[in-house]
Amino acid sequence: MSSQTSPRGQFLDRRSPPNIFTLILLAGVSALCMNIFLPSLPSMTAYFDTDYGVMQLSIAVYLAVNAVLQIVVGPISDKFGRRPVILSGMAIFLLATLGCIYAPNAAIFLTFRMLQAAVVVAMVLSRAVVRDMVPTDQAASMIGYVTMGMTVVPMIGPALGGLLDATFGWQASFWMLFLLGLAIFWITYRDLGETKTSSGLTLPQQFREYPELLTSPRFWGYSLANGFTSGAFFAYLGGAPFVATEFFGMSATKMGVYFGAPALGYFIGNFLSGRYSARFGVNRMVFTGCAICGLGIAASLSIFAAGLGSAEIFFGFMTFVGIGNGLAIPNATAGALSVRPHLAGTAAGLSGAIMIGGGAALSALAGALLTTETGAFPLLWLMLATSVLGVTAIAMVIRREKMLGL
Q: What CATH homologous superfamily does 15-200 map to?
A: MFS general substrate transporter like domains (1.20.1250.20)
pLDDT in tens, 47-65: 999 886 677 677 767 877 8
Note the pLDDT of residue 95: 97
Mean pLDDT lowest for which of 67-71, 94-98, 268-272, 303-307?
A: 67-71
Determine how many CB atoms are found less than 10 A away from the CB of residue 289: 30
Confidence of residue 4 (pLDDT cuts 50, 70, 90): very low
- What is d(CA 33, CA 177) in angstroms, rounded to the nearest whole number? 7
Q: Which amino acid is at 66?
A: N
Note the pLDDT of residue 101: 96
Note the pLDDT of residue 3: 41
Q: Where in the chain is the domain with CATH 1.20.1250.20?
A: 15-200, 209-406
Cα distances (angstroms) measured from residue 237 to each of 67, 118, 244: 17, 23, 11
Note the pLDDT of residue 137: 66
pLDDT at residue 5 tops 60: no
Note the pLDDT of residue 111: 95
Confidence of residue 147 (pLDDT cuts 50, 70, 90): low
- What is d(CA 287, CA 202) in angstroms, rounded to the nearest whole number? 38
pLDDT in tens, 84-142: 999 999 999 999 999 999 999 999 999 999 999 999 888 888 878 887 787 766 776 77
Cα distances (angstroms) measured from residue 393 to each of 51, 229, 380, 386: 42, 10, 20, 10
- What is d(CA 384, CA 228) in angstroms, rounded to the nearest whole number? 10
Most confident of 324-333, 348-357, 386-395: 386-395
- What is d(CA 340, CA 75) in angstroms, rounded to the nearest whole number? 13
Output 5 or 102, whichever has higher pLDDT: 102
Question: What mean pLDDT is predicted for residues 314-338?
Answer: 90
pLDDT at residue 319 tops 90: yes
**What one-character-per-residue DSSP string does 208-264 give?**
TTHHHHHT-HHHHHHHHHHHHHHHHHHHHHHHHHHIIIIIS---HHHHHHHHTHHHH
Note the pLDDT of residue 160: 79
Comparing CA positions, the residue from 106, 127, 147, 120 lying closest to residue 63 is 120
Confidence of residue 7 (pLDDT cuts 50, 70, 90): very low
Note the pLDDT of residue 234: 79
pLDDT in tens, 36-45: 886 777 788 8
pLDDT in tens, 188-225: 999 988 887 666 666 676 667 777 777 888 889 999 99
CATH of domain 209-406: 1.20.1250.20
* Contact between residue 127 and residue 1 where contact means Cβ atoms under 8 Å apart: no
